[in-house]
Structure 1
Amino acid sequence: MSMRPETIPAGPAPALAVATRFSGRITATWWYTMAGVLFLEGTLVFLWVAAPTGHGHARTVTIAVAGMVWWVSTVPLLRRYRHAGSPPGAHRWAVLVPLLIAAACGAVVGAAAGLWMLAVVPLVQSALLLHWPPGLRVRVAAAATVLLVVLWLIDARGPAAVDIDARGGWLLGAFCLFIPVTTVLSLWWWDVLVTLDRARVSEANLGATRERLRVATDVHDLQGHHLQVIALQLELAERLLAKQDPDAAMAQLRAARSSVDEARQGTRDLATRFRSVPLLDELANAVDLLRAAGTEVEATVDPAADAAPAEVLGPVIRETTTNVLRHGGGRWARLALSRSGAVWRYEISNHASGEDPAGGGGSGLEGVARRVAEAGGAVEVRRGKQDFTVVVTVPAETVPAQAPEGAPGPPATDEEGR
């Protein structure tokens, strides 16, 4: 049989196409945002140094050193912004120290250049890097812009304006006004991406919760009805025996046994309904769930995957996908289903951040191993420093193992933990 692998794109589960598409991670977007803000600040420091102030080499060096110290002090504020979810009053020293550095460096630069705007810009820029509430941040940015415009007009009429040519002065002033506005827009865009990412994760969790509730409702309705009928029939049989009517009591016992058979058949039909999803759809659903949680997913599937034993691999795919979601998903995940001779091989790997994805508890993998072993297959689990891999191999023609008569059936798999 040919082994031309196909890949699963994002989109509705029933369709399986042949193009690979990786979902983006907002982590990379944050690094772009942070690098952009630092680049603009570095350019501003360069303009400070390059502005022809006419104060000599010593003051130029002073401006350069103070500007670089301030530039470095904004890095902790940016890193804190990525993770902080509280107003700027929390963790006082983590905020206060960079602001004091910005104020001191601004005073040095302003005194050396003789410009009020340069004395205030570092403190304004650092203050805008704090995690302000959305409405308050806009007002702070507007007030800072107005303040900088006023100082720009004052500097244009001050004694230092004579030392700066017209082109250089306007460029320096315009850039000082441009940086705070650009910073606010960049951080606002990052906040929007964080909100969207959380919404994707919530959507994936909500989908899994709705599916569990639907299954629980179906089982409750089915078993609740039959158990109530059986209880009534047994109660009636007990009363008939008390009235010395064994024939009628026996009829009720036969009816109760028939109700038990109906309940068992209904349970089988319900389980079959959930197991009857084609493997291609199972894999497409798994990819959609992982991508909805923000994980970069790559799936490679044999074109003849529908010929694989779905009654074995279907629950395995659902269980391993649930495990990846429950244990954080990580940055990436890879799924592969292929056939080699008379054996089907399913493999799922995900980024595990160097920790044990099994979490030290749960019986999900044990349930998977029992299910696969009953079909004559095997399960291999590999835990690496940065990845977690589960490999399942099953025969192309599965023959369920025969349990001894009277022996209890295999325990149900734990669909929520390893």
Structure 2
Amino acid sequence: MTRTKKGPAVAPLESDGLDRIGQPPENRRQTVVKSLWVGIWLFYLSAPVTDLVSGGHGWYAVLLGSLGLAAFVGWYLTLVFRTVRQFAQRRVLISLAVMSAQAVVLSLCLGREWLVLFVYVSVSSGAALPGRLSRWAVPAATVLLTLTSLAVPAGRDFLAGLLVPAFLGGFAMVGIRQMIATTVELRQARATVAQLAANEERLRMARDLHDLLGHSLSLITLKSELAGRMLPEHPDRAAQQIADIEQVSRQALTDVREAVSGYRRPTLPGELAGARTALTAAGVAADLPAAEPEVELPEETESALAYALREAVTNVVRHSGAARCTIRLVVRQTLAGPVMELTVTDDGKGDPGSPGNGLTGLTERLVAVGGTLTAGPVSPAAHRGFRLTAQVPLGSPS
């Protein structure tokens, strides 16, 4: 069996060093990191600030320009720094429209130095809008930059230096948003796979423990009953049965430890020997194959067939009330190719009731290696006898 490990829980995006666009910071560290990240890009505003200080504008123009720049930066930080998921899409579009209008008015009134505001409009479009809208909003902001620069005196001199940052910066934000969304989806998928792996491991453990302990405990129970009946008149024979119980118990403990570790792979020779011992102890005449087919089986395929033999013999001992059990192991040619076929037939009662955990687990094991399992009464009308047939393909499991 392949061992699986429970995967780690989904870690927050903070562990990737990604500043989560469109999400508010959750602690002081995230606030500082995101503030530095957003603040770095405000250096492009040095041109408008320098124009306000030394551009020769009147105090009235400086006042209105300062208020307009402060409002613009406020809109920008709201869209990029704070969460946009709390905003309706309509509100985001209105905010971008207001920023675009501010950029146009400030550029036309105060000069070409203010054309840089369109870079922030483009970046905000990529950061705040979903991909289906930002792919149009970013080019629209770039076109608006071009038209405004043509209307501003000497604006063409700044156009070449701003066109590429506006266009590429906007789509860079779109790419970052998509990357983060993909990272979140991958984290969720990894968590799902880890949960499925944990469930598969629990199923494997339950199946292995049922197969191991069901057989061993049945044998211990039979030998305990025999020892109890022999004790008054044949203490020596009872002591031998008790010694066998100790040996079986120790072997069961070893098997459980190996199953928990994931290293135990039962083999057909070992299970055939164990079947003879269990059937003999239960007083059932055992008819086993004289020799096994000389066929090399993959480990998982042999393991599935060995578990089928163990479960079948355990059911014969515990439930059938049979006097005779026949086990056959042969190679057959089918339309799908050669298969190894295991058949366990008893002459006990033929109605096993509803399928239990053992047969269900066996079916899952055999299906995993491309095999099949059939089980039912030998004579349904007489309700006598029961036959279990397991087939596995010869070769590597698919």
TM-score for both structures, normalised by structure 1: 0.40
Q: Which fold has the larger relative contact order, with Cα–Cα distance below 8 Å and residues 6 or more apart in sequence?
A: 1
Pair member with larger Rg: 2
